[in-house]
């Protein structure tokens, strides 16, 4: 038989353990692969290899979360490998004793189990990659708007890269219990009561006021400290990862929505010539990969909004007017000279980028971007607000450098997270842009309507522009579409949290099954003494509850703290977020309880006669 013949045969013989190990590890790999693929195809940067199709701001902010989820998947997979290999080794200790006692060289025995580890990791990588790719495509089919299937691609190099990291982590952690098991002396391994990490030292003392159920449960898990700690560690990490995936994405989704509505403004109506409004909505729909843009001359006199119309619009109550001059142009970086230790250092170059250029009246703005720095003031003449992507593309130190637009130099006073043209925008004072472009008047009007009188005001605005060449476009449906895009993007990561949840359930199920097998003789004694099956279930459930409680406290609180405090900058936390997190916590605890309840019920269902021979 070949060298892998024995280990393979052994794995096939231990169907229950092998299947559970492969499923759990495959789900971790699937979580990792699907996170990377969805993020890659959605434009979120996860590794240095990927580039985005979102604003640099959105990418920077949210790719942090996606990266953390991907790396947590790798780490969880590695730790799960450690858990399942430990569980396997715990039931193989006697075999190791026999193998060693019969004169087998420890290296040979080590090789035997190392091959099993390799086979487990390999099959998990293959199955997990398949599931991960399938999940990504399923997500793409279910959310064609945010991730069209036609544009889905599998970057094999990226997949290989993450699988390689996973395999290294899994082998490094998975080999530890094998090394530990190999160090056991044959006599120790053949000791009839050798159990997985059981300590035969005195049990931990607990208050005598507590009932027998708690005392037995607590002391049993304390007696099996190494196994219990390993399970708690695995569950805590998986729970933390799952919480980050669930709570983090709920917050990220809400925060995206918040940034978008601030950048675009809510209840906004766009008025301008058909060409101009069409162009504006094209640029707004970049995330949705909308239709191809056309080239137009923005300064053509036919696009100027007549003064009479402006006046009519000004008269409409509950509608705030935001007149703009809108054009496309080149934004050029101005290099900066700094003196450092009596030496002149040139910072920057003359990089340039095409961008949308808006002339705005600072006092009439209808939106409220998430901005670093400040917005334009009344006194500003040669100041500019740049979109995040534009600034990051052409400037090294945006607030210390200047930009040239239409031959004039502008000081950068603010960086805005603007969904328009994926952040390739520049906002200048309206008067300055009018002068620089030798143009008078506005070619675009934004009107913010009070929500309470929306329909009424909309009617009046339609009336005001009737019989002109101007077109009225409501921006709310577009804002909804972009919001839905982000929501569906984030919902894909919720699937990752579900994968983690199944992995945790398998981990706890395996732990409880092994734990119960070890306790079977004592369970038989208790029942022989008159304990009803439900008393046995209560003791076992108490053990599971203690493990879930400790893991939950560590994992969920760390995950929540990380999600709320670190992973999403300026997070928007709404009651909906809290409700989502609450539902997540409840379902996690329910699933974990059910997964531990099943083996407890199985042993309670067995007749006393079937376990009594072991007394």
Binding footprint of other proteins on the chain (CB under 8 A): 200-203, 208, 211-212, 215-216, 219-220, 223, 521-522, 525-533, 535, 607-609, 612-613, 615
Closest CB to other proteins among residues 122, 608 = 608
Min dist. Cβ of residue 538 to other proteins (A): 12
Could you tell me which residues are beta bridge partners of residue 408?
405
340: its two tokens: 């450092």
- Secondary structure tally for the chain: helices H, strands E: 18, 12
Closest CB to other proteins among residues 169, 216 = 216
**Cα 540 to Cα 553: distance, rounded to the nearest angstrom:** 20
Min dist. Cβ of residue 19 to other proteins (A): 24
Q: Count CA atoms within 13 Å of residue 549 on its CB side.
A: 7
Instruction: Residue count of the chain, please give it.
Output: 615
Min dist. Cβ of residue 226 to other proteins (A): 16
Closest CB to other proteins among residues 407, 530 = 530
Q: What does DSSP assign to residue 293?
A: P
Could you tell me which residues are beta bridge partners of residue 446?
270, 322
Min dist. Cβ of residue 533 to other proteins (A): 6
Please give the angle made by the CA atoms of 275, 279 and 285, to the nearest 5 degrees: 145
Min dist. Cβ of residue 482 to other proteins (A): 59
Closest CB to other proteins among residues 101, 608 = 608
C-alpha dihedral (498, 500, 505, 510), degrees to nearest 10: 150
Tokens 């709404």 belong to residue: 574
Min dist. Cβ of residue 502 to other proteins (A): 32
Closest CB to other proteins among residues 94, 532 = 532
Are 291 and 325 in contact, with CB atoms under 8 Å apart?
Answer: no
Min dist. Cβ of residue 161 to other proteins (A): 48
Are 86 and 30 in contact, with CB atoms under 8 Å apart?
Answer: no
Closest CB to other proteins among residues 375, 543 = 543
Tokens 């990380």 belong to residue: 562
Pick from 595, 548, 19: nearest CA to 231? 548
Would you give the end-to-end CA distance of the chain in angstroms?
A: 40
Min dist. Cβ of residue 542 to other proteins (A): 12
What Cα–Cα distance (Å) separates residue 350 from each residue in 162, 289, 404, 418, 532? 38, 30, 10, 24, 83
* Residue 252 CB burial class (10 angstroms; 0-12, 13-18, ≥19): buried
Closest CB to other proteins among residues 193, 344 = 193
Closest CB to other proteins among residues 183, 201 = 201
């Amino acid at each position: 038989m070949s060298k892998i013949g024995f280990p393979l045969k052994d794995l096939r013989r231990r169907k229950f353990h092998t299947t559970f190990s492969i499923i759990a590890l495959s789900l971790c790999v699937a979580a990792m692969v699907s996170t990377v693929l969805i993020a890659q195809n959605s434009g979120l940067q996860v590794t240095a290899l990927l580039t985005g199709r979102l604003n640099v701001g959105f990418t920077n902010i949210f790719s942090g979360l996606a990266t953390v989820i991907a790396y947590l998947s790798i780490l969880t997979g590695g730790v799960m490998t450690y858990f399942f290999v430990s569980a396997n080794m715990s039931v193989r200790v006697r075999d190791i004793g026999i193998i060693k006692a019969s004169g087998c060289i420890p290296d040979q025995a080590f090789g035997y189990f190392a091959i099993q580890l390799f086979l487990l990791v390999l099959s998990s990588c293959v199955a997990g990659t398949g599931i991960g790719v399938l999940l990504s495509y399923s997500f793409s089919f279910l959310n064609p708007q945010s991730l069209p299937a036609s544009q889905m691609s599998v970057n094999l190099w990226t997949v290989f890269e993450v699988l390689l990291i996973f395999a290294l982590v899994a082998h490094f952690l998975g080999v530890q219990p094998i090394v530990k098991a190999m160090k056991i002396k044959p006599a120790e391994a053949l000791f009839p009561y050798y159990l997985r990490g059981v300590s035969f030292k005195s049990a931990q003392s607990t208050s005598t006021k507590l009932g027998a159920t708690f005392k037995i449960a607590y002391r049993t898990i304390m007696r099996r400290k190494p196994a219990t700690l390993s399970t708690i560690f695995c569950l805590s990490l998986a729970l933390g990862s799952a919480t980050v995936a669930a709570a983090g994405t709920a917050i990220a989704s809400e925060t995206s929505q918040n940034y978008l509505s601030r950048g675009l403004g809510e209840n906004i109506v766009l008025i301008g010539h058909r060409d101009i409004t069409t162009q504006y909505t094209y640029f707004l729909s970049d995330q949705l990969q909308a239709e191809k843009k056309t080239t137009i001359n923005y300064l053509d006199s036919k696009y100027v909004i007549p003064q009479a119309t402006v006046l009519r619009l000004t008269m409409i109550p509950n509608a705030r007017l935001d007149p703009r001059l809108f054009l496309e142009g080149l934004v050029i970086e101005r290099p900066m000279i700094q003196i450092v230790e009596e030496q002149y250092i040139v910072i920057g170059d003359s990089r340039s980028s095409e961008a949308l250029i808006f002339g705005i009246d600072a006092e009439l703005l209808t939106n409220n971007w998430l901005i670093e720095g400040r917005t334009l003031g009344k006194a500003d003449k040669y100041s500019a607000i740049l979109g995040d992507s534009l600034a990051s593309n052409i400037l090294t130190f945006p607030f210390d450098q200047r930009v040239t637009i239409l031959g004039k130099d502008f000081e950068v006073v603010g960086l805005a997270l603007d969904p328009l043209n994926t952040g390739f925008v520049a906002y200048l004072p309206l008067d300055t842009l009018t002068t620089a472009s030798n143009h008078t008047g506005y070619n675009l009007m934004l009107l913010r309507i009070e929500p309470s009188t929306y329909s009424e005001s909309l009617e009046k605005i339609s009336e005001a522009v009737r019989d002109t060449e101007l077109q009225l476009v409501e921006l709310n449906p577009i804002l909804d579409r972009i919001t839905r895009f982000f929501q569906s993007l984030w919902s894909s990561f919720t699937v990752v949290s579900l994968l983690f949840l199944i992995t945790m359930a398998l981990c706890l199920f395996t732990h409880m099954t092994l734990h119960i097998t070890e306790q079977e003789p004592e369970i038989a004694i208790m029942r022989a003494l008159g304990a009803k099956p439900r008393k046995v279930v209560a003791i076992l459930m108490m053990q599971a509850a203690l493990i879930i409680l400790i893991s939950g406290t560590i994992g969920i609180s760390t995950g929540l703290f990380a999600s709320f405090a670190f992973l999403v900058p300026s997070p928007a936390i709404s009651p909906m977020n809290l409700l989502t997190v609450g539902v997540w916590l409840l379902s996690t605890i329910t699933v974990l309880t059910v997964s531990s309840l099943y083996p407890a019920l199985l042993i309670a269902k067995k007749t006393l006669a079937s376990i009594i021979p072991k007394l």
